Amino acid sequence: MAGPRYLRLAEALKADLERGLLGRVLPPERELARALGVSRSTLRRALDLLEAEGLLTRRQGSGTYAAQRATFQARLQGFTEEMEALGFKPSTRLLKGERARATPEEAFHLRLSPGEEVWRLERLRLADGEPMALERASLPAWALEALPEGSLYQALEARGLRPARALQRLRAVLAKEEDALLGVPPGSPLLHLERVSYLADGRPIEFVKSRYRGDRYELLVELR
């Protein structure tokens, strides 16, 4: 393979990471450089590239870690179900919850009349204790008697209101200061997701805006 040695090394390490050959925690730089037969400066340049691609995470005084990335298949599930299916331990921190009059945007997407109310939730979603997404969800007031303490989708299912389909849009954005709870600096890549979920009878049940960390989230879509 042609090219500078650190590029060749980065490609080799990337392949090993994708196959899980390096484990969750990489050996110390000195040991890894010795095992690979390269200088520490060459190794550092290769690791810099992999970190920039979101494949590695360096923690001062702790070490270098293979980034854990959640790969979602395009199917309708709640965050809790998705994380559990992928082997992560999901948790949620409720930042804000209220019942209030719908904004024009909420009324449009949820097909509400002027003056109708919604349940509005702002939550920080975590996987294995690390921030994954900031989520702002709105539901018609008739959908719930009170805000659930656990999974929103499980609460809806208990009332016979499980979403049956959804329309979802995804686009790349840059993190702003308001995204600081995600643990990334301003300017970091994020994925902005907007979804409207519907019941089997066609009624909208949920309008969601989420901002996912670009280094921890990817979407897998099967095309037929």
Average pLDDT over residues 27-40: 87
Q: What is the pLDDT of residue 103?
A: 92
pLDDT digits (tens, 9 = 90+) for 153-194: 888 999 999 888 888 888 889 999 999 999 999 999 998 989
pLDDT for residue 39 is more than 80: yes
Looking at per-residue pLDDT, the higher value among 198 and 20 belongs to 198
Q: Percent of the chain scored above 90 by pLDDT?
A: 30
Q: Tell whether pTM > 0.85.
A: no
Q: Pick the more confident residue, 66 or 174.
A: 174
The confidence score (pLDDT) of residue 220 equals 57
Report whether pLDDT(74) > 60. no
Comparing 85 with 97, the larger pLDDT belongs to 97
User: Predicted confidence band at 118 (pLDDT cuts at 50, 70, 90)?
Assistant: very high
How would residue 218 be classed by pLDDT, with cut points 50, 70 and 90?
low
For the cut 90, the answer to whether the pLDDT of residue 5 exceeds it is no
**What is residue 73's predicted lDDT score, i.e. its pLDDT?**
47
Greatest mean pLDDT range, 7-11, 63-67, 201-205: 201-205
What is the DSSP annotation of the chain?
Answer: --S-HHHHHHHHHHHHHHTTTT-SBPPPHHHHHHHHT--HHHHHHHHHHHHHTTSEEEETTTEEEEPP-EEEESS---HHHHHHHTT--EEEEEEEEEEEEPPHHHHHHHTPPTT-EEEEEEEEEEETTEEEEEEEEEEEGGG-SS--SS-HHHHHHHTT----EEEEEEEEEE--GGGGGGS--TT-EEEEEEEEEE-TTS-EEEEEEEEEETTTEEEE----
Tokens matching residue 76: 């309708």
Q: What is the largest CA-CA distance in the chain?
A: 69
